[in-house]
Amino acid sequence: SVYDDQPNSHKKFMEKLDACIRNHDKEIEKMCNFHHQGFVDAITELLKVRTDAEKLKVQVTDTNRRFQDAGKEVIVQTEDIIRCRIQQRNITTVVEKLQLCLPVLEMYSKLKEQMSAKRYYSALKTMEQLENVYFPRVSQYRFCQLMIENLPKLRENIKEISMSDLKDFLESIRKHSDKIGETAMKQAQQQKAFSIALQKQNNVKFGKNMYINHDRITEEKREIILRHILEEEDENEEEVLTVQDLVDFSPVYRCLHIYSVLGDEETFENYYRKQRKKQARLVLQPQSSMHETVDGYRRYFTQIVGFFVVEDHILHVTQGLVTRAYTDELWNMALSKIIAVLRAHSSYCTDPDLVLELKNLIVIFADTLQGYGFPVNRLFDLLFEIRDQYNETLLKKWAGVFRDIFEEDNYSPIPIVSEEEYKIVTSKFPFQDPDLEKQSFPKKFPMSQSVPHIYIQVKEFIYASLKFSESLHRSSTEIDDMLRKSTNLLLTRTLNSCLLNLIRKPHIGLTEDARHAAEGEIYTKLNQKIDEFVQLADYDWTMSEPDGRASGYLMDLINFLRSIFQVFTHLPGKVAQTACMSACQHLSTTLMQMLLDSELKQISMGAVQQFNLDVIQCELFASSEPVPGFQGDTLQLAFIDLRQMKDTSKKNNIFAQFRKNDRDKQKLIETVVKQLRNLVNGMSQHT
C-alpha cells in the first residue's frame, strides 16, 4: 500500500524482498558455519552416550523388575491399610450418626412404653420433646419421617382412650351417686349433732343451776353425755368413707390434662358439661312410686346430693372444667325440678309420719348442700307448704281419734274413790275446783272420760305439729304462730266438727233440754266472739274523709263468721239458721250501740261515710246467704234497723249541724243524741 501511487511498484517491492531474503540466507549460512563444529562434537558425544544409555536402560529395567517384585507385598498391604482406613472412617461416621439417632430412638421407645403403661399425659409430653428437640436433628432419615407420620395417629389414639376412660368415669359416678350422697348426708347429720351437743355443753357452762323435771343436771353429767356423743361420732367417722374413697377421679384429671396439652380443652369441657347435664336430668327424674315409702325419697335425695358433691369436688380441684357460674346454673335448674317433684309427690302422702320423715330428709338434704355452698332458701319455703299439708293430715288423723274417743265415752261423770285416782285424773287434765277438792271420797268429776282424753290428744297434736317445726331455721315467734294456727284449726274445725256430728246423733242419749242448752251455748259463744272482734274497732269519729274500704276488724269478723257457718252446715238446718240470724242481729245491735254511746260527742261526715261502708259489708254478707235455707231477704232484715237509722240521719241532715260554731255545738249534740234514741226506741217498739 506504500507503493500504490507509484508505477511498477509491485515489481520494485518484489525485487527488494528478494534482496532481503538473500541477505538473511547469507547470515544463516554464516551462523551455521560458526556452530557446525559444536554440533558435530555434540553428535559424537551423543553417540557415545547412547551405548551407556542402553546399558543403563537394561539396568533400570532389571532394577524396576526387582523393585516391582519386591513391592507387590507392600502394595497388597497398602491396599489393606487403605481399605481399613476407609472402613474406620465409615465406622466413625456411623457411630456419630448413631449417637445422634440413639436419643431419638430411646425417646420413641420411651413413648411406646408410656403408651403401654397408659401414661398418656407423659406420652404427650414425650411427643412434644421429640417434635421440638429430637426430630429436627435426624429429619433427613427415613425412619424419622415414619415416626413423624405416626405421631398424629398416636395422639388420636390417646384422645380416644382418654375419652373412653372419661365415659367409664361418668358411668362410675352415676352408679356411686347414691352412695356418695348417703355419705355426705351422714357427715352433715353427724356434724349437726355435734354442733347441737356442743351448744348444749356451752349452755351448761353458762347456766349450771338449770333444772329439768325438777332434777338438777350437774355439769359433770353433761360432760359425760357430751363425751359419749363425741365417742359415737368418732366411731361413725371411722366407718364413713370420703368421696375420694368411693370414686377414682384420676380419669377426669388425666383426660383434662391430655386435652389441655392437645390444645382441645374447650371440646373436653363442653363434652363433660353436656354429659353431666344429661345425668342431672336422669337423677332429677323420680320414680313413680317414690311417694309410697321414705326409702324412695331417701334414694332420690342421696342421688342428687351425690351428683352435686362430685361437681363441687371437680370445681375445687380443676381449673376451668367446672365454674361456679355453671354449678349455680345447674343447681337452680335442679332446684326448680326438685321443688316441683316434691310438691307433686308430697301431695299424695296421707300418712303424717311419712310427711314428717320427708321433712327431716329435706332438712338434712338442704343442710348438706348448704354446707357445699348451694343456696337452699327455696327448700325451706317449700317446707312451709308441706307443713300445711302435714297439718291437714294431722287434722284428719286426729278427727278419727276424736271420733273414737266420743264413741267409746259413756258420757257420765268420772267417779273417784281415792286420792290416787284423783291425782291420776288431774295429772292428765289440769282441772281445779275448790268445792270438788273439799268433798270427801267417793266423788265425781263434772265431766266424762272424753274431756281428759281430748285434752291429752290436743297436747299430742301440738307435740306432733312441733316436731315439724324443728330445724326449720325459724324464730321462736314464728314457730309459736304456726303452732297457734294449727291448734286453732284443730279446735275450731276438727274438734268442733266432731262435736257437732256427735250432737246430731240421735242415739247419743242427750235430752231435749241438753240439746237446747247446747244450742244456746253455741249462740252465746258466737256472740261473745263477735264482741271480741268489735272491741278491736278503732273509729276516728272526727275523720274528714273515709278510708275508701271497710274497717279491718269488720272484714276479719265477716271472714270468721263465714268459716264458722261453713262448719255449721253439719248442724241441723234450724240450728244453723238460728245461729246465723242471732249473730247478725247481735252485730247490728252492737254497731247501733256504738253510735249511741253516751261518750260519743261528735261525729264527722267522713266518719259517717266510713261507718256506712261497714254497714254495706254487713248487708253484703247477709245477702251472700252464709247459711242456706233463708227465704228472700230474711237475713238482711237483721240490719234493716241499722240501715234506717243511717238513712234517717242523712235525711234529717243532723250531722251537718256539727259544722256550726262552737257556741251551739253542745246543744246540737244533745239534740241529735235525743233524736237518735227516740228513733231507735220507736223502731224497737215497732219491731
Q: Residue 4 falls within a domain, yes or no?
A: no
Is the pLDDT at 388 greater than 90? The verdict is no
**Residue 176 and residue 246 in contact, taking contact as beta carbons nearer than 8 Å:** yes
Q: Measured in whole angstroms, how far is the alpha carbon of residue 370 from the centre of its chain?
A: 8
Residue 215's beta-bridge partner residues? Answer: 212
Distance, first Cα to last Cα, the chain: 182
* pLDDT, mean of residues 57-72: 86
Query: Cell for 157?
Result: 389414639
Q: Residue 1 falls within a domain, yes or no?
A: no
626 shares a domain with 519: yes
Out of 504, 522, 542, pick the residue that ends a domain: 504
Residue 466 sits in a domain whose CATH number is 1.10.357.30
Question: What are 431-452's pLDDT values in tens digits?
Answer: 788 888 778 888 888 788 888 8
Q: Residue 105 falls within a domain, yes or no?
A: no
Number of domains in the chain: 5
554 shares a domain with 489: no
Least confident of 186-200, 354-368, 528-542: 186-200
Question: What are 493-552's pLDDT values in tens digits?
Answer: 888 888 777 766 655 554 555 567 667 778 888 888 888 888 888 888 888 888 888 888
CA distances from 406 to 402, 464, 496, 503 (A): 6, 21, 12, 11
HSE of 343, CA atoms in CB hemisphere, 13 A: 13
Is the pLDDT at 297 greater than 50? The verdict is yes
Radius of gyration of the chain (CA): 60
Out of 66, 97, 128, pick the residue that ends a domain: 97
User: At a CB cut-off of 8 Å and minimum separation 6, what does 130 contact?
Assistant: 104, 107, 108, 111, 147, 151
473 shares a domain with 432: yes
**Residue 324 and residue 296 in contact, taking contact as beta carbons nearer than 8 Å:** no
Instruction: Give the closest residue to 175 by CA, choosing from 53, 37, 279, 22.
Output: 279
293 shares a domain with 163: yes
What number of H helices and E strands is found in the chain?
22, 4
480 shares a domain with 415: yes
- Looking at per-residue pLDDT, the higher value among 251 and 362 belongs to 362
Q: Which residue is it, cell 532389571?
A: 62
Mean pLDDT of the chain: 78
Question: What are 303-347's pLDDT values in tens digits?
Answer: 888 888 888 888 888 877 888 888 888 899 988 998 888 888 887
Q: Which residue is it, cell 364413713?
A: 240
595 shares a domain with 458: no
620 shares a domain with 518: yes
User: At a CB cut-off of 8 Å and minimum separation 6, what does 655 contact?
Assistant: 603, 604, 605, 608, 649, 672
Residue 527 sits in a domain whose CATH number is 1.20.58.670
- What DSSP string runs through 420-479? HHHHHHHHHS----HHHHHSPSSEEESS-THHHHHHHHHHHHHHHHHHHHTTS---HHHH
Instruction: Give the closest residue to 570 by CA, choosing from 502, 635, 487, 490.
Output: 502
Structural element, H or E, at residue 661: none
Q: Residue 461 falls within a domain, yes or no?
A: yes
Instruction: Give the closest residue to 191 by CA, choosing from 223, 229, 242.
Output: 229
Q: Which residue is it, cell 373436653?
A: 268
Query: Cell for 524?
Result: 252465746
600 shares a domain with 520: yes
Q: Residue 357 falls within a domain, yes or no?
A: yes
pLDDT of residue 656: 41
Assess whether the previous peptide bond of 442 is cis (omega < 30° from 0): yes
Residue 416's beta-bridge partner residues? Answer: 443
* pLDDT, mean of residues 587-600: 83
Cα dihedral 478, 479, 484, 486 sign: positive
Q: Residue 336 falls within a domain, yes or no?
A: yes
Is the pLDDT at 298 greater than 50? The verdict is yes
Q: Residue 582 falls within a domain, yes or no?
A: yes
Residue range of the domain that includes 609: 512-651
638 shares a domain with 589: yes
Phi, psi of 222 (to 5 degrees): -60, -45
Q: 3-class DSSP state for residue 211?
A: strand
Residue 15 burial by Cβ neighbours in a 10 Å radius (0-12, 13-18, 19+): exposed
- What DSSP string runs through 155-203? HHHHHHHHHHHHHHHHHHHHHHHHHHHHHHHHHHHHHHHHHHHHHHHHH
Out of 69, 97, 125, pick the residue that ends a domain: 97
438 shares a domain with 365: no
635 shares a domain with 544: yes
Among 274-288, 497-511, 640-654, the range with the most confident prediction by mean pLDDT is 274-288
Q: Measured in whole angstroms, how far is the alpha carbon of residue 608 from the centre of its chain?
A: 56
Q: Residue 412 falls within a domain, yes or no?
A: yes
516 shares a domain with 468: no
Phi, psi of 287 (to 5 degrees): -75, 150
pLDDT of residue 218: 39
